[in-house]
Structure 1
Amino acid sequence: MKIKYFILALLTFVLGSCSESFLELENPNKVTNENFWQTEDDLYSAVATIYNSLIDDYTGHYGTINWELKAGRTENFTIRNDVRDRYEISTFLNTFSNGSSSDLYKGCYEGIFRANQVIQKGPEMEIDENVKNQLIAEARFLRGLNYMILAIDFGSVPITTALAATSDDYYQSKSTIEAVWEQCISDFDAALKVLPTQYDANQKGRATKGTVLAYMGRAYLYQGLWENAETTLELIVGNETQYGYALQPVYAELFDGKHENGVESVFELQFSLLGGTDIWTDNPASKSRSTFIAQECAPGEVGGWFELYPTKALLNAFLQESTVDGGIDPRATATLAWDYPECVYYQRIFNTTWGPDEIWLKKNQNWWNENEGDWKSELNEYGMRYADVLLMLAEAYTMRDKVKDAAPLVHRIRERAQLTNKLTEMESYNREQMMTEIRHQRNLEFAREGLHFYDLRRWDLLEETLDESQVVGYQNFAPKHKYYPIPENELDNNPNMKQNSPW
């Protein structure tokens, strides 16, 4: 059954081999290890649950709450103070007892556990070898992605690549952050050998060879392994036709809900109005495959909760440079709503409802919606866009003093944004001049897409940028806030676990 993972309900898997009392009758409808791992449909469904762990509203790295937390730890956004855990993180007052960071930690290991099931049990299944190998490769990529998330958010964490056979197996000691990255790359490498370059149209959203290469390039970039990043990302950029990648011609089309899974999509998280009708339930049978991020970020005047809202710092960054015809950078009007001429927001002329100093979010918001009573959003989210691949390769070139090779890639990003042609000028830049341009373009290009915090951290500009912006809570920032602490419940439950320094 080849079916998109986002329309599959989560399955409840057996945690281990549990023997039942001989006095109890076996329920023939109960899913167990003995009756589940039998068919292609079973393996497709098992892999679907790994994808689903990434987009869970509270525990998924690409879920509603963590989109807010990634953006809210930068100068570009502020998180409202009505939800304590989120506000603490955004103002750098969080501790190891914070529920939101604990949820993310839990979500990563749920994804790893589900992947380990597929990787361990899949080879034993008597099904089509090609199907089996592809799905196991997807599980390897997704396990590697979860370890990548743990590395960038927590640092040193336990590595587990097998299902627990005894109770002692549950209590793993931490591995170094270097070992976590090595596990990530190992999983990516295994997936790369098997996954296809493209799928049929009805399989959109599944990881491809290009997806793996892009995330592998990001993993190398985040570690400062410039040569490895360059070599990996060149395999994509040098073969655009083969992979089918390009920049979407109009930036705003990326977020209008009408051009999803397009040429710029390298890894796209799938949402829809299929499934149940409830966006709040934990019951898979009644849960909608949509997201409530639209209501989270919309202003109160239209029934939103304004949990995340943009700052003046982000708007000013967008307004630093006009287009060739003297207009506003189209990425600004696709990302933000403010009092600019003819701005329409939730079917209202902006300045008739909101004040001249207010700024609100448009990107990945159904801001064209008239129905304030239905907040289920089916807009997909991007885990990786081709624009990111281009700018990552440009950065790798620049850090290896190949600025002239980086310039055409940055030019493509600027050209779509209708900015002045600076190609010749950029070709003569030194390393720092080009990095300044790349940093600026990444900030504008990926605003609200969850990359800016990690960019600032790896450039060693996080504290400086927060201080300059004086965003709410900036004065609380300390070096320990570059990563989340190991959660309190993990420290309490695992006798082999120790807190990461400097927490």
Structure 2
Amino acid sequence: MKNIIKFLLIVVFSSGCSNDFIELTPFADANAVDFFKTANDFEVAVNAAYDVLQDGRLYGSGFEFLLEVRSDNGTFDDPASDVGQPFNIDKFQVVPSNTIVEGAYDALYQGIGRCNVILSRIEGVGIDQAFADRIKGEAKFLRGLFYFHLVQLFGDVPLITTEISVSETANIKRDPITEIYGQIEKDLTDASNGLPLTYPTSEAGRVTSGAASGLLAKVYLTQNKFSLAKLELEKVIHSNIYSLLPNIASVFSPSNEMNAEIVFAVRSAKGGDEGRSLAFDYTQNPTIAEDLLNAYDPTDERLPLVEYVTVSGSRKVPQKYFDTLSVLNDVGTDIAVLRYADILLMYAEVLNEEGYVDNDDSTAFQNLNMVRERAGVLPYTTLELVNQVTFRDAVLKERRLELALEFHRWYDLKRTGTALSTFSALGIEIQECKLIYPIPQDELDVVQDPTRFPQNECY
């Protein structure tokens, strides 16, 4: 997983930012049509779909600004840096030509395009059926993850589930969020049912059925489908594959990747083509919000993980993303997308939403407190969390403390309906229509039809 065959990726899946939907169709010539002949060909193809996740436009860097700097966890106060584009994201002043926003949109559809090609071509090739089912499951999970980010970031977006030509993009329209979520649910359900529970160590990092169930639970939770989310979370918990590590710092150690707490992560390897830039690199000017640092109890073992430490010279990163630099000045730390702590906190949340239980030993309290006590802080009791509302608020706060800088906070604020009030308490008044980003201007310029492809309100 950390050593993708670069030559084949360049030849078969080469693509870049452009002013059209070219990312939806990675194949540019007839030779590529004949590429898929063997099982190895499809493995290379699905590796290329994984590869999009660590792209600098997504988990490699872009999400740092779109999801954490945009939230109350981070700030960016330099209006001159990068032509003011990170600053404008932080201050809710984004315009449709913002290249960070544009880059994420393009990369997400690039990933979807790669998944669509795999799923369109894998049937009838004559490869081992079990292997084909695994590849399809991986591609469907990844497509579901890409689309989940798209609807969260942009709202209504084009729903494209087949390989299409460049000329066909002229007829693309923005589809309702409900349809997008329906497809995400189908993809993740298929992935959960078709993927293995575990892989050999050499394949660590590939999507498992547990990862698919965990992401599906998050999708259900986002839509307030609590009973469905509960079922998927119980699949993960009852699999007995994942657990909290005794020491929270060890979860993020570069020497302990893919540990028992990691349900799914974006993998990378430093010192070569698979290395990546430092997340929250201090030289890029993002700052961890004082409000976040002050939210921790002084004894909380998670506090040092979100404080900056020196990597080299003026380069600093939060401890959670620390790694020694390679000779190529890159790092290889994985980025957790789903952790078992996240699973436990989601489970506590859905149980509370189904009905608050006034009992310190209830499953909801137990799951919430497992995460707290691992961090060295006192457990909650019914004397503090006296009803469903106070329990709900405690879970949201705990998610912020536990998952800080892991790209969850902005989505959590949105789905719980607390974004506007959270920023208002900080003295920042924002419009509800700015809870999603603008559709990139270059996409609007290609379609040129505001009826079926309109810009989002506020932009």
Identify whether the pair has TM-score above 0.5, normalized to the shorter chain.
yes
Local SS of the residue matching 1:363? helix
Question: Structure 1 residues 46 and 335 mapped into 2: Cα distance closer, same or farther (>3 Å)?
Answer: same
**Counterpart code for 1:100:** I
Q: 2:289 aligns with which of 304, 311, 333?
A: 311
Deviation at 1:274, TM superposition (A): 5.2
- For 1:12 and 1:434, how far apart are their aligned partners in 2? 53
Select which of 408, 411, 415 maps to 2:369.
411
Say whether 1:75 aligns with 2:72.
Answer: yes
Q: Return the alpha-carbon distance in structure 1 between the equivalents of residues 219 and 353 of structure 2.
A: 16
Equivalents in 2 of 1:168, 1:57: separation in Å? 28
Find the counterpart in structure 2 of residue 332 from structure 1.
303
Cα distance in 2 for partners of 1:234, 1:448 equals 26
CA contact (8 A) 2:311 2:317 kept: no
Q: Which amino acid aligns with 1:478?
A: Q
* Distance (Å, rounded) in 2 between the aligned partners of 1:8 and 1:154: 32
**1:290 pairs with 2:275:** yes
Deviations 1:1-58 (A, max 9, x none): xxx15534234437488788xxxxxxxxxx5212x10111110000011111111112
SS in 2 for 1:123: coil
Shift of residue 166, structure 1, vs aligned partner:
7.5
Sort the Cα spacing of 1:63 and 1:196 in 2 relative to 1 into closer, same or farther, 3 A: same
Runs (5+) with no aligned partner, structure 2:
14-24
Larger Rg: 1
Tell me whether 1:261 sits opposite 2:258 in the alignment: yes
Q: 1:80: how far off?
A: 4.6
Q: Does 1:497 align with 2:450?
A: no
Contact kept? 2:352, 2:391, Cα under 8 Å: yes
Alignment gaps of 5+ in structure 1: 21-30, 276-287, 299-304, 323-327, 338-343
1:395 correspondence with 2:349: yes
Cα deviation, residue 501, structure 1: 3.2
Q: Are the structure 2 counterparts of residues 95 and 68 from structure 1 closer, same or farther at C-alpha, using a change threshold of 3 Å?
A: closer
Paired residue for 1:376? 330
Q: Confirm or deny: 8 A CA contact 1:310 1:360 kept in the other structure.
A: no
Within a 5 Å distance, the mapping from 1:113-128 to structure 2 comes to: 113-128=113-128
Paired letter, 1:42: D
Match for 2:437 among 476, 480, 484?
A: 484
When the two structures are superposed, what TM-score results if normalisation uses the length of structure 2? Answer: 0.89
Change (3 A) 1:199 1:132: same
How far apart are residue 422 of structure 1 and its match?
3.2
Residue equivalent to 1:25 = none
Other structure's SS at 1:396 match:
helix
Any conservation in 1 of the 2:156–2:176 contact (CA below 8 Å)? yes
Whole-Å Cα distance in 2 between the matches of residues 32 and 64 of structure 1?
30
Amino acid in the other structure paired with 1:297: D
The residue identity in structure 2 corresponding to 1:392 is M
Q: Which residue of 1 aligns with 2:420?
A: 463
Decide whether the 8 Å contact of 2:278 with 2:317 is kept in 1: no
* Counterpart-to-counterpart distance in 1, 2:200 and 2:383: 42
Helix, strand or coil for the counterpart of 2:342? helix
- What's 2:393 paired with? 436
- The one-letter amino acid paired with 1:465 is T
- Which secondary structure does the structure 1 equivalent of 2:254 belong to? coil
- Between 1:146-155 and 1:74-83, the stretch displaced more is 74-83
Alpha-carbon distance in structure 2 between the residues aligned to 1:57 and 1:292: 8
Mapping for residues 68-467 of structure 1, pairs under 5 Å:
68-81=65-78, 82-83=81-82, 84-164=84-164, 167-237=167-237, 239-241=238-240, 244-273=241-270, 275=272, 288-294=273-279, 297-298=281-282, 305-319=283-297, 322=298, 328-337=299-308, 345-346=310-311, 361-366=318-323, 369=324, 375-403=329-357, 404-423=362-381, 425=383, 429-467=386-424
Give me the whole-angstrom Cα distance separating, in 2, the residues matched to 1:18 and 1:255.
Answer: 40
Q: Structure 1 residues 346, 137: CA separation in 2 closer, same or farther (over 3 Å shift)?
A: closer
Residue aligned with 2:337, SS: strand
For the 8 Å contact 1:5–1:49, the answer to whether it is kept is: no
Q: How many Å separate the matches in 1 of 2:311 and 2:28? A: 53
SS in structure 2 of the partner of residue 211 of structure 1: helix
Residue 273 of structure 1: CA displacement?
2.1
In the alignment, which residue of structure 2 is the partner of 1:301?
none
Aligned-partner Cα distance in 1 for 2:326–2:138 = 38
In structure 1, what is the Cα distance between the partners aligned to 2:369 and 2:410? 24
Which residue identity lines up with residue 336 of structure 1 in the other structure? E
Instruction: Output the amino acid matched with 1:389.
Output: I
TM, length-normalised to structure 1: 0.81
Q: Aligned residues: percent identity?
A: 26
CA distance in 1, matches of 2:28, 2:258: 42
**CA shift for structure 1 position 432:** 0.9
What is the Cα deviation at residue 423 of structure 1? 4.7
Cα pair distance change 1:118/1:443, threshold 3 Å? same
Quick check: 1:111–1:143 contact (8 Å CA) kept in 2? Answer: yes
Contact 2:245 2:251 in 1 (8 A): yes
CA shift for structure 1 position 247: 0.5
Going from structure 1 to structure 2, the CA distance change for 1:150 and 1:393 (only over 3 Å counts) comes to same
Paired position in structure 2 for 1:37 = 36
1:292-315 C-alpha deviation (Å, 9 max, x unpaired): 125x523xxxxxx14211121111
